Structure formats: structure tokens, C-alpha cells
A = this chain, B = another copy of it.
Amino acid sequence: MRVHAETRPPELGALRHACRFCLLHDLCCPMNLGPCDLEQLQSVVRRSAPLPAGRLLFRAGDRFTAIYALRSGCIKSFSLDAGGHETVHSFHLRGELLGFDAVYPDTHRCNALVLEASSVCVIPYRDVVKLSVDFPSLHGQVLRLMSREFSKQLMCGEGSGGTQRTAAFLLNVYERLSRPGSVEFDFRLPMSREDISNYLGMSPETLSRLLARLQRKRMIAVDRRHIRLLDPSRLKLIAIGVDC
């Protein structure tokens, strides 16, 4: 059930090669390290077996042991209140980190559920701290990545109207999914309408209607989970609160 039990022993050569193309290269392999340091650094990273959709990466209340780097797939972190209402705190996409929520109280405060088959690297937190001492450049890097993860959350919570939050969400996911320099405005939402509505704080029906309205106004094209941004600049205006 737990991921840690499924980790493979690191095959250093293959691993180093894999890391070279990882989006988290900057975390694992800061530029100014020698090849020897690099090996030591990568020796702490365990690549987990592929996680199928529906798997729980960790639960609220679990002891904090590691940071997870998402190589591919999508994971949501969420919590449930006593009334059964689910609040989605964040969606984690390819190239992003999760687990930082537990650094302070030493215990995870939310659950992490795999939405799309994912592959993650497990980075024991103990080692992160230990290595930060040996490699000072890593220290600032960890702080930056942690800050980035948290500030990601601030983006979509803003906005009074549902339309504003929805537009902000679509743009946010698009930016995080698209390769830099891409000219395509197509992408596939890796999460269900219900997950999105729980994230945005509205009912799934309302979200469905808002998407339909944006489509009627020729700003997006929706086909199930496939989204195409037809008028990104006007969407941007809506997202920042200009009513048009």
C-alpha cells in the first residue's frame, strides 16, 4: 500500500541519465557540482515503481519522511472535513514537488491521491537536510522550490466570481502543462470536473455551466477533458478581474 516499500535499488548509471532529462534537474543536480558529488546526491533519490490512478501516496496523519518529485502524471492533495466535504488544496503536475505541507508539524495534513498513472522520485527529507549542509547551493534551491510549490496555490484562490477563478485555473494549468515555447493552445485536463470544482470551491454543475458559457463566448473549446484556449488574452483579462 505504501510507496516506500516498492522502491527499487538505484541503478546509478541509468538513474543519472534519467535525471539529466528530468524537469527537476535543478533540484537534484545543481550545476556547480563535480561528478563525484553528483553521484552522492543522486544516491539518495529512489525512483518508485509506477503508481496507478487511485493509489494513495500518503494520508493525512502519516509521519513525514520524504519529499516526492513528480516525473509524470498528476496527483491531487486534498482533505476531508467532518461533513464529508472534500477540499482540494493543490494539483501536482509533471515536474513539481509535493510533501512540503508536512515539514513543520512533521505529519502530513492532507491526503495525496494519484489521478493519472504517475512516476515519482522519493527524496528522503533527512537526506535533503543532510546534503544541504554539504552542498550550500542546494540549500537555497530547496527553499526556492518549496516557495514555488506554495505560491502555486495562491494563483487560483483569488477572484470573487466563479468565472474569474475558472479562467485563472485554465490558464494556470495550461502554463504548467505546456512545454515552454509551445505555440499550441491545446491541453488535456488530468483531473475530473468534480476535482476541479472542489478545488475552485463550487459545485460541479456550476463549473460545467461556466465552461459552457466560456465556450459559447468563443473563448475556449471544450471536449470532455480536452481544452483549447481560443482567446487566451481575453481569458487573461477575465482571470485578473476585468469584467468583459
Binding site for B on A (CB under 8 A): 79, 81-85, 87, 89, 100-105, 109, 129, 132-133, 136, 139-140, 142-148, 150-151, 153-154, 157-160, 164, 201, 237, 240-243
Residue from the list B132, B140, B150 in contact with A150, Cβ < 8 A: B150
A106 to nearest B CB, angstroms?
A: 9
Would you call B147 and A243 a contact (CB within 8 A)?
no
Q: What's the number of copies of this chain in the assembled complex?
A: 2
Would you call B82 and A144 a contact (CB within 8 A)?
no
A142–B147 CA distance with the chains assembled, in angstroms? 12
Could you say which of A144, A147, A164 has the most chain B C-beta atoms within 10 Å of its C-beta?
Answer: A147
Would you call B147 and A103 a contact (CB within 8 A)?
yes
Would you call A79 and B158 a contact (CB within 8 A)?
yes
A153 surroundings in chain B (CB, below 8 A):
153
Would you call A82 and B240 a contact (CB within 8 A)?
yes
Known: A89-B154, A146-B147. 11 other contacts (CB 8 A): A81-B240, A82-B241, A83-B242, A83-B243, A101-B154, A102-B147, A103-B143, A103-B147, A104-B144, A132-B139, A133-B139
Counting from the closest, the 10 A-B pairs by CB-CB distance are A81-B241, A83-B241, A103-B147, A104-B147, A104-B148, A150-B150, A82-B241, A82-B240, A87-B158, A133-B136
A152–B87 CA distance with the chains assembled, in angstroms? 16
A148–B103 CA distance with the chains assembled, in angstroms? 8
Query: Residue of B at shortest CB range from A81?
Result: B241
A242 surroundings in chain B (CB, below 8 A):
82-83
Query: Could you write out 22 A-B pairs with CB less than 8 Å apart?
Result: A79-B158, A81-B164, A82-B237, A85-B241, A87-B159, A101-B154, A102-B147, A103-B144, A103-B146, A104-B148, A105-B151, A109-B154, A129-B136, A129-B143, A132-B132, A142-B143, A143-B146, A146-B146, A146-B147, A153-B153, A160-B201, A201-B201
A146 surroundings in chain B (CB, below 8 A):
103, 143, 146-147
Would you call B243 and A104 a contact (CB within 8 A)?
no
A145–B143 CA distance with the chains assembled, in angstroms? 11
A218 to nearest B CB, angstroms?
A: 22
A241–B83 CA distance with the chains assembled, in angstroms? 5
Could you say which of A146, A150, A157 has the most chain B C-beta atoms within 10 Å of its C-beta?
Answer: A150
A142 surroundings in chain B (CB, below 8 A):
143
